């Protein structure tokens, strides 16, 4: 890292909640995360993040193979490699190559940049540093393509700050041209390809009016805290006061009638709105307080204990086998793999071909969700109600 410069990642909490940067450790922690190619993980990589890194490395290798820049994709040292990873990275590469052919067929000179690091100056010694999954550029077009390997929430390319940052870095490849800019997120696990477009002028306005001011606030530790779904990625989430106030507001929002001994549906609806967030917050607080107590801190009114009975386990597998034989029993049992395990082993395509007709799904009980949920509404009949009584 160069002296006197501050580096921010192309995605992360700072774009949504500028003060969280210093709350979580500031520039040093972010610099450590970037230097280890760990995104915004603050130098600590979870199993899911490690799996995501392997997805991206395999996808990049496969693209280089298809483009003739590499002989073979490396898989020997991938801890999470399986048929599912192989299939989904192929799907990603298929879409990237489709875009390449589309650009090539239009008669343009096509160049492809894969996992290329960039260093984007913003202002006052603040830089954005990272690497984009894939950039395809021609004299008249710039395609920013990003792979999302997770099975969690669907991610949209529309006004996606991460992809817009990649596009800013990609503009350097186009000199002074005014290319058609297309932003694409490929999410194979959710069978989703999301695409948005933006002009060079719109991108530069976003940089000047949003990205640069937010970067300044982030480094200075100013701006406002913003509570939302992104809080689950924040290392400071257990002790963030803004989050605590938001959680408490969920309870206070219940418009209960003080003259009634019971809550009405309106009261319950207000509480349900924040129930999942509130539970996650309480779990975070409990874990953080336990860790503090383990480190020697005193939590007023609480103490550490050792539960009376922990999980039992055998100390020697071979000794247990020998004892079981003497007792005249078989210590092993055979268990059929679950549908999910088989799908991971053979990949979705072969799973559908060989096992789809052998699967039955249990009927699910109705679940109450917000009206914004895209799934169709279920309306129970009187018989449904009577059967549940």
Cβ atoms within 10 Å of 171's Cβ, excluding its own: 20
pLDDT at 164 over 90: yes
State the Cα angle at 235 between 230 and 237, rounded to 5°: 65
pLDDT, tens digit, for every residue of 43-95? Answer: 456 788 889 999 999 999 999 999 999 999 999 999 999 999 999 999 999 99
Residue 18 in this model has a pLDDT that exceeds 60 = yes
314's tokens: 């055998």
Compute the average pLDDT of residues 357-373: 84
Q: What is the spatial distance between Cα 75 and Cα 79, in angstroms, rounded to a whole number?
A: 9
**CA nearest neighbour of 39 among 154, 119, 131:** 131
Kindly report, residue by residue over 80-94, the tens digit of the pLDDT. 999 999 999 999 999
pLDDT at position 274 is: 83
In this prediction, residue 383 has a pLDDT band, given cuts at 50, 70 and 90, of low
Long-range contact set of residues 200-205: C-beta below 8 Å, sequence gap at least 24 = 200/171, 203/164, 203/167, 203/168, 203/171
Per-residue confidence (pLDDT) for residue 106, from 0 to 100: 80
Q: Report the alpha-carbon distance of residue 386 to residue 389 in Å, rounded.
A: 5
- What is d(CA 114, CA 100) in angstroms, rounded to the nearest whole number? 13
Asked if CATH classification 3.90.320 holds for the domain at 6-220, the reply, yes or no, is yes
d(CA 170, CA 178): 12
Span 234-253, mean pLDDT? 86
User: What pLDDT score does 388 carry?
Assistant: 53
Query: Given this model, what pLDDT does residue 384 score?
Result: 57
> Is residue 9 classed exposed, middle or buried when 0-12, 13-18 and 19+ CB atoms within 10 A define those classes?
buried
Token digits of residue 10: 């192309």
Give the pLDDT score at 273. Answer: 81
Tokens of 352: 């559908």
Residue 293: per-residue pLDDT? 92
Mean pLDDT of the chain: 85
pLDDT at res. 43: 46
Q: How far is CA 305 from the centre of its chain?
A: 35
In the chain, pLDDT over 70 holds for what percent of residues? 90
pTM for the complete prediction?
0.79
The residue ranges of every structural domain in the chain are 6-220, 238-257+266-286
């Amino acid at each position: 890292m160069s002296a006197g410069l501050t580096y921010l990642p192309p995605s992360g909490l700072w774009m949504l909640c500028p003060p969280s940067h210093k709350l979580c450790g500031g520039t040093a922690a972010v610099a450590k995360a970037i230097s280890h190619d760990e995104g915004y993980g603050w130098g600590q990589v979870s199993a899911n993040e490690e799996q995501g890194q392997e997805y991206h490395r395999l996808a990049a290798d496969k693209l280089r193979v298809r483009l003739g820049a590499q002989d073979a994709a490396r898989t020997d040292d991938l801890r999470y490699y399986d048929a599912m990873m192989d299939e989904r990275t192929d799907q990603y590469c298929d879409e990237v190559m489709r875009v390449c052919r589309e650009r090539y067929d239009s008669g343009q000179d096509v160049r492809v940049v894969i996992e290329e690091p960039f260093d984007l100056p913003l202002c006052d010694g603040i830089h954005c540093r990272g690497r984009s999954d894939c950039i395809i550029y021609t004299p008249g077009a710039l395609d920013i393509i990003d792979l999302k390997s997770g099975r969690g929430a669907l991610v949209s390319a529309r006004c996606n700050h991460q992809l817009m940052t990649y596009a800013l870095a990609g503009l350097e490849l186009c000199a002074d041209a005014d290319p058609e800019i297309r932003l694409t997120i490929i999410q194979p696990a959710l069978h989703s390809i999301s695409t948005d477009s933006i002009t060079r002028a719109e991108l530069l306005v976003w940089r000047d009016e949003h990205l640069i001011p937010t970067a300044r606030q982030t480094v200075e530790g100013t701006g406002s805290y913003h509570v939302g779904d992104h809080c689950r990625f924040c290392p400071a989430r257990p002790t963030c006061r803004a989050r605590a106030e938001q959680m408490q507001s969920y309870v206070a929002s219940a418009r209960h009638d003080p003259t009634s001994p019971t809550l009405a549906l309106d009261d319950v609806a207000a509480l349900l709105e924040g129930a999942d967030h509130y539970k996650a917050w309480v779990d975070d607080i409990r874990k953080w307080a336990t860790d503090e107590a383990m480190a020697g801190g005193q939590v007023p009114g609480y103490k550490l204990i050792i539960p009376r009975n922990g999980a039992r386990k055998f100390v020697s597998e071979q000794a247990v086998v020998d004892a079981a034989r003497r007792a005249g029993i078989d210590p092993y049992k055979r268990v059929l793999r679950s549908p999910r395990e088989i799908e991971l082993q053979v990949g979705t395509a072969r799973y559908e071909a060989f096992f789809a007709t052998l699967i039955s799904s249990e009927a699910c009980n109705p679940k109450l969700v917000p009206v914004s949920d895209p799934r169709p509404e279920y309306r129970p009949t009187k018989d449904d109600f009577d059967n549940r009584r």
